[in-house]
Structure 1
Amino acid sequence: MKYMEYVRILTTYFTKNVQVETTIAQLARLFNCSERHTKSIVNYLDQHNWIKWEVQRGRGKKPKLTLFVQSDDILYQEAINKVGSEKYQEAFRLLQQMDSMYQDRFQTWFKKVLGISQTKTEDEEPLDVLRYPFYETMLSMDPLTIMSRHDSHMVQQIFDRLVAYDPKSDKLIPQIAHHWETVDGIRWYFYLRKQVMFHHGRELTSNDVKATIDRLPKYDVIKKNLVTIEIRNQTVIIFKLKETDYLFPRYLATMKASIIPIEMVEQNEINFRKKPIGSGPYQLTRHDQEKVQLDVFLDYYGYRPWLDRIEIIKTPEKLVGNQSHPFLLSAPDSSWKGIKVQEEGADYITFNCRKDGPLKNIYYRRLLCNLIDEKEFCLHSNHENESVAHSFLTERSKEKTSKTKVHDNVNEDMFLQIAAQQIREGVNHKREALILQSQLERAGISSSVEIVNAQDLGNPQVLNKFDIVVAGIALTEDRLLSVLTAIQSSQLTIYPSLNEQMRNEVDQQVSALKKLHDTTRQWQMYVAIEDYLKSNHAIFFLNHRTHTVYEPNNSQYMNIKLDSNGRVDYRKVWKKE
């Protein structure tokens, strides 16, 4: 038994800082060991100031024991030891048994473990490590099954794509493909780098690119306009489209187009979601109940990141608290300042224009839009300062003003079924759905609210059960592609909820947009599509969310700021020596 266990036993029989007479024989019975071993235990605890052991002179006088700790002291020290041995879940369970004062003390200590630090490898080589806590969530790191921004962030680090979108220049930059070209916007040639290696040691070829795209579902935006994929050789691949599309390469920069080694997926697709293999700058080396660990991939074809390792400690959500900055519990130093940033994208309502019922009629959709007060959906607190949305784009929303709403009783015998989109357990649009239900009730309209997983809403049979869906999206850095995907994706609720006439109009306008080279004209056409959907009352925008970006002031750490996923892009972090 470890000495800490003996101290724990003492705390159940003795009070801290109270001197008590006892004997070795009595302690031996408590410890359930020999008196000889008990003497060794007592000497050890006395030498390490856990107790004070005083032997009394004179016949019949018992020794005196003073205990210098209480049970919470033991729990606290044990929790620290558990963290040191990376048994984080055991540490957090011990934490729940402590008094609140000790819990606060532990959190203060735990903060010092987090952030960027330097350790050494077994070969005594320096290792720069970023360590931070994150609440337990079911990560799906297969690019095909990304559901949340957490999933997307991990895929971004572990995988690479043919090309990458640079928001500063609004242009594509090479990744796995070093060059691409087209003459007519229909036949696209991509030329791959040689010696791009997957994490398991195999070279990436054009066969992997084809397998990745073939694996996408037939209703995916990339596949809709795709006719054939031709492998010219190991490093040349040709995509032939049905129609001209000058945006096509940008779709290949999205996370779901991350290149995979298909044989690893075919071996065990479920396991691949938890333990993926890519060709990106970081490889997954650990993913269990304690933490997710990424290590730099030494055979990466591109620039080597400065950070050698990232350790994401799985932490109870109530311990993590408000996740308002990259390191969650504390910024790297006191020089950092928080800046609230409005998130591009919005929460919104879609009306099912296909389902038999009142909302098939534009009259009733218009009626509901006039009833809904979007201001009630905006959170205002220390952490949130949301604003009314009239578009997926914050700048467009600023140009609009809210109309005067009608709150008279509708006098219609109407019952509506509302679905609240859920990304993962506890992250959903239930709050917004209940606000909507309350507003409808005030107008005399009855409704029900059901929380539905986002993946399930991609099933037409599930979607057709509901009259209204309350959902939301955050736009990626490629905003144009993001909004086009939002209004055309079969996995979101906007396009599947449109009637045939609306679908045809959207398809025609998006098709015309993709034939253009001019970005300004492309945006003008998107705005026209969004206005068309609003004028037909197929979609109603609610609110824009905010998040806090922490920026360093004269910090030695560079590029530690939130990306479009609300996370730190590990690849860009470095330190001024």
Structure 2
Amino acid sequence: MKLIEHYLILKTAYATQKNDVDIETTLSEIIDILGCSQPNGKGVLNRLKQQGWIRWNPGRGRGNRSRINFQLSLIDGIKMYISDQLAQNHFKEGMEFLHSLSIPTQIQSVLGEFLEGWFGFQTEEGNEVKHILRIPIHRNLLSMDPAQVSTAYEYHFVGQIYDTLLRVHPITKQICPHLALGWEAPNEKSWIFYLRKGVHFHHGRLLTSEDVIYTIQRLFHSTESVFFWFGHYLNNVESLGDHTVLFNFNRPFPFFPYILCSNKASIVPYDVDIKQQVVGTGPFSVQFFSKEKLIMEAFDHYFKERAWLDRVEIFRFPEELQSKFLYKMTTENVDSMEMRDKTVTQHVTITQLILFNTKKPGPQQHQAFRRAIRLALDRNKMIDETNIKGANPADSFLPANSKKAIIPSYTLSEAKEALKESGYSGETITMFIHPNRWRENALWIQSRCNQIGISIELRPLEFSKTLQFLHQAHLIMIEVSFKDESEINLIEPLGNNSIYRKMLTLQENEQMDLFIDRFISGKTANERLSTWNEMVDWFKKEHLILFQFHINEESLYSNYLQGYKFGALGMADFHSLWIKDKINL
């Protein structure tokens, strides 16, 4: 253990005492606090004294107590400690250690302010000024393989590291060129794409048609890929030269260009194992990646303009500490910025859902049981009684569709009648919930179900562990955020290996496949959207998904932040960001 950690343990044990005041104690008491042997305890005290952090006067003789006098304030000690941990890339360990201490609330607030000064936009002086963005996130990063990303954070970061052949314009929703300069369909079952020249991967090699072929084959043929089920549509892929690719399908596939706009269809190099080394063509190259940290630097040879930011650093900030240390990242945290009253507001809509695990044996396999819970969970009453500010009842994944719906209220008597029909015999069912969010909401759901005779055990579990223990859940409460309403983002979350797929029976998955087949075969956007709405209506009719509410989460961005474009979770596109310096004329 570091000396500063010993100091903080001692200081928090005497947190009610002022600095530079003699505190009576005993060596035995000090040893108990430190949890060490007497020789080690004496050694720690001597080293703390040598550092000038304490004054230590041991008691001599019977009845004479020792005296300790703290010279370093608790907040200064914490700042010193966390600065050292950050410098040594031990951020997670440092935060976990602080979490183990009994830190007074006012100190937690000051620590939050200190962290605000470290996160956000920073300037690093040296031979060349570096502009850095540091962001805390509250989930582990499991993968930077585009085909396997599972969270909105990962999806967003992949979009900074890799490029797709095509992109959807954020406003018009029209497909635009990107790595592909152009494309055409010579017949209804084939697509030809023409690639840009001179596009470099981060490891130096130029992009060719072989990379595109490799990417699509692993995307359509890997069971871990969200687009795996499209593999049976593909006959073959051919290279017609270094910069031309031909795709032949066994059926008309008008939706194919939209798939190529997904970050999950980002182009990866054929000569690199992405699971071992993260290499793309995007505006940022990965310098370090672990489940707790991601460091990206601007790629000087990006085929479009170089990013203004020189480095982006992502740190896993334990979510259980978010409220304790009173910090939430917004990009208004710009060093040396004034006039923070001039801001740009970004809204992200979160939708809360309850999903039933119909694969697992239990009462939730009966449609009437699921309907009973739907009738019991009156959405308007839930919002009122749990005081969820800014929430609106949900009847779909999309708020715009929910606004058009008439959401009825039901009585507990109606719910009890449905429960009788299900044959429920009183067994306890398990619902996974978020460990740190919507606790009051979950308790309300548990109470309403109890009122109609359903016993629910609430089990807090991080999302990263949900899939691992999914077989233990009868239902789960999750929140989702659709990145936007473009067509690929409507269908992508329901793809192969998604949590929806893992919780449904084979027969229900086959029904989803039928809807998706119709969706991708639709020749117009209206035709495809109609099919998607039919699928959502089927979810509701079978009560496989219970839509609860929509809520807006708001972030404020400094007026000096330029070039902001927002993606998943309202996070800004790092490639386009730059800071307008304050100039006094």
Residue 208 of structure 2, aligned match among 205, 210, 216 = 205
Aligned mates of 2:363, 2:130 — CA distance in 1: 63
Secondary structure of the residue aligned to 2:570 is coil
- Contact 1:191–1:236 (Cα < 8 Å) also in 2: yes
Residue 253 of structure 1, aligned match among 247, 261, 264 = 261
TM-score by length of 1: 0.74
Aligned mates of 1:289, 1:511 — CA distance in 2: 35
Cα distance change on mapping 1:468 and 1:99 into 2, 3 Å: closer
Cα distance change on mapping 1:221 and 1:435 into 2, 3 Å: farther
Equivalent runs, 1:446-457 vs 2, <5 Å? 446=455
Identical positions, percent: 22
Aligned mates of 2:71, 2:363 — CA distance in 1: 74
* Deviation (angstroms), 1:232: 2.4
* Deviation (angstroms), 1:512: 4.0
Aligned mates of 1:71, 1:235 — CA distance in 2: 62
Aligned to 1:60: none
1:278-337 CA distance string (max 9 Å, x none) = 221101112369843210011211221111111234444455446655349789652255
- Contact 1:429–1:471 (Cα < 8 Å) also in 2: no
Deviates more, 1:564-573 or 1:441-450: 441-450
Aligned to 2:228: 220
- Contact 1:384–1:546 (Cα < 8 Å) also in 2: no
Amino acid at match of 1:557: L
Please state if 1:182 is matched with 2:182. no
* Deviation (angstroms), 1:276: 1.8
Secondary structure of the residue aligned to 2:238 is strand
Residue 113 of structure 1, aligned match among 108, 113, 118 = 118
Aligned to 2:545: 539
Cα distance change on mapping 1:345 and 1:233 into 2, 3 Å: farther
* Deviation (angstroms), 1:498: 6.2
Total equivalences in the alignment: 529
Amino acid at match of 1:414: Y
- Contact 2:565–2:576 (Cα < 8 Å) also in 1: no
Aligned to 1:38: none
Aligned mates of 1:489, 1:181 — CA distance in 2: 27
Deviates more, 1:476-485 or 1:303-312: 476-485
1:248-300 CA distance string (max 9 Å, x none) = 1111221221222244327xx3xx3xx52222110111236984321001121
Cα distance change on mapping 1:437 and 1:70 into 2, 3 Å: closer
Aligned to 1:479: 486
Aligned to 2:554: 548
Equivalent runs, 1:70-109 vs 2, <5 Å? 73-74=76-77, 76-80=79-83, 83=86, 88=91, 92=95, 100=104, 101-109=106-114
Amino acid at match of 1:568: A
* Deviation (angstroms), 1:551: 3.7
Residue 403 of structure 2, aligned match among 398, 416, 419 = 398
- Contact 1:350–1:493 (Cα < 8 Å) also in 2: no
Residue 442 of structure 1, aligned match among 448, 451, 457 = 451
* Deviation (angstroms), 1:88: 3.9
* Deviation (angstroms), 1:385: 2.8
Aligned to 2:526: 520
Secondary structure of the residue aligned to 1:295 is strand
Please state if 1:244 is matched with 2:249. no
Aligned mates of 2:42, 2:450 — CA distance in 1: 66
Aligned mates of 2:486, 2:309 — CA distance in 1: 29
Cα distance change on mapping 1:50 and 1:200 into 2, 3 Å: same
Aligned mates of 1:177, 1:248 — CA distance in 2: 14
Aligned mates of 1:546, 1:221 — CA distance in 2: 33
Aligned mates of 1:455, 1:575 — CA distance in 2: 34
Where structure 2 has 5 or more consecutive residues not aligned to the other structure, the ranges are 23-40, 44-48, 56-68
1:7-33 CA distance string (max 9 Å, x none) = 99x999xx96579xxxxxxxxxx999x
Cα distance change on mapping 1:381 and 1:541 into 2, 3 Å: closer
Secondary structure of the residue aligned to 2:488 is helix
Aligned to 2:36: none
Deviates more, 1:468-477 or 1:152-161: 468-477
Aligned mates of 1:491, 1:569 — CA distance in 2: 25
Residue 168 of structure 1, aligned match among 168, 171, 190 = 171
CA RMSD of aligned residues (A): 4.8
Secondary structure of the residue aligned to 1:190 is strand
TM-score by length of 2: 0.74
Cα distance change on mapping 1:485 and 1:83 into 2, 3 Å: closer
* Deviation (angstroms), 1:78: 4.8
Aligned to 2:38: none
* Deviation (angstroms), 1:394: 0.5
Aligned to 1:335: 341
Residue 155 of structure 1, aligned match among 134, 153, 158 = 158
Aligned mates of 1:105, 1:191 — CA distance in 2: 55
Aligned to 2:378: 373
Deviates more, 1:425-434 or 1:406-415: 425-434
Amino acid at match of 1:441: N
Equivalent runs, 1:17-56 vs 2, <5 Å? 17=20
Amino acid at match of 2:244: V
* Deviation (angstroms), 1:92: 4.3
Aligned mates of 1:177, 1:168 — CA distance in 2: 20
Aligned to 1:145: 148
Aligned mates of 2:385, 2:303 — CA distance in 1: 46
Aligned mates of 2:576, 2:375 — CA distance in 1: 47
Deviates more, 1:510-519 or 1:391-400: 510-519
Aligned to 1:296: 298
Aligned mates of 1:87, 1:351 — CA distance in 2: 39
Aligned to 2:60: none
Amino acid at match of 2:451: R
Cα distance change on mapping 1:82 and 1:501 into 2, 3 Å: closer
Bigger Cα Rg: 1
- Contact 1:469–1:493 (Cα < 8 Å) also in 2: no
- Contact 1:421–1:454 (Cα < 8 Å) also in 2: no
Secondary structure of the residue aligned to 2:272 is helix
* Deviation (angstroms), 1:384: 5.4
* Deviation (angstroms), 1:215: 2.0
Aligned mates of 1:133, 1:525 — CA distance in 2: 39
- Contact 1:384–1:547 (Cα < 8 Å) also in 2: no
- Contact 1:494–1:539 (Cα < 8 Å) also in 2: no
1:45-82 CA distance string (max 9 Å, x none) = 8xxx999xxxxxxxxxxxxxx99645764554454455
Aligned mates of 2:214, 2:204 — CA distance in 1: 18
Deviates more, 1:221-230 or 1:202-211: 221-230
Secondary structure of the residue aligned to 1:401 is coil
Cα distance change on mapping 1:349 and 1:278 into 2, 3 Å: same
Equivalent runs, 1:456-471 vs 2, <5 Å? 468-471=475-478
Cα distance change on mapping 1:222 and 1:453 into 2, 3 Å: farther
Aligned mates of 2:21, 2:193 — CA distance in 1: 78
Cα distance change on mapping 1:31 and 1:287 into 2, 3 Å: same
Deviates more, 1:338-347 or 1:228-237: 338-347
Aligned mates of 1:18, 1:426 — CA distance in 2: 41
